[in-house]
Amino acid sequence: MGITSSARPVLITGAGKRIGLALARHFLAQQQPVIISYRTRYAAVDELEQAGAVCLYGDFSSNDGITQFADAVKQHCAGLRAIVHNASAWLAESPDLSPAATLAAMLQIHVNTPYLLNHLLEPLLRGRGHASADIIHFTDYVVERGSDKHIAYAASKAALDNLTRSFARKLAPEVKVNAIAPAMIMFNDHDDAQYRQEALNKSLMKIAPGEQEIIALVDYLLSSQYVTGRTHAVDGGRPLR
């Protein structure tokens, strides 16, 4: 199923699993056209394609790959309703990789990719009127507190957090730009009981709420005519522990 020339899809990067996948399913269920990027062709990507999403391979490890992906998006639509920057990597400092390489990898996916895509796809977001389009950056709870084991990751997400405010200034009032900073939204299947309990104890709310919590916030941000340039924490009250 293709996208009609008049449609304005939501673009979600890294939507092959977890929150990105949940968002893609949510929008498709609402008959909202969706374009996703994937680097690994998970079975869920085939599922999304069968449900009507346009699924485009994207290699964001180089700036040329980012540009090629943006060109592919432009071939499928003349306008975008939103860009949801969900693509991410969680790389720890390790003896197996130099600090310089670790930092470069984290900056590439969390800073260069959204920065370049926002610029390259800006014409597809503009021209539809006041607050008619959105950009959402997924940052992280660790932006506030730092991380001794994921230093480059935390720094790159902090840079993305700052990009939120800069692009909000640049693109207003046509495009709203916000960030979502989650912590412990959902577990991985391989997480053991001890890890799960330790993670739950770090928040006031003592639960892993699941992807619906993020979906509800994204829906709110897209429907707002006023909220822009803000970071919205979804962390169960962790800073208050």
Q: Which residues are catalytic?
A: 153
In whole angstroms, how far apart are CA 59 and each of 41, 70, 97? 12, 11, 20
d(CA 230, CA 14): 22
Query: Tokens 């989650």 correspond to what residue?
Result: 182
**100 Ramachandran zone, left/alpha/beta (phi>0; psi -120 to 50):** alpha
In whole angstroms, how far apart are CA 195 and each of 86, 94, 142, 192? 24, 21, 18, 5
In DSSP terms, which residues pair with 234 in a beta bridge?
182
The token duo for 199 is: 């993670």
Task: Calculate helix-pair angle for 113-125, 63-76, nearest 10 degrees.
Answer: 20
Nearest Cα to 51, choosing from 74, 34, 68? 34
Contacts of 238 (CB under 8 A, 6+ apart): 141, 183, 184, 202, 203, 204
Query: Tokens 């432009």 correspond to what residue?
Result: 74
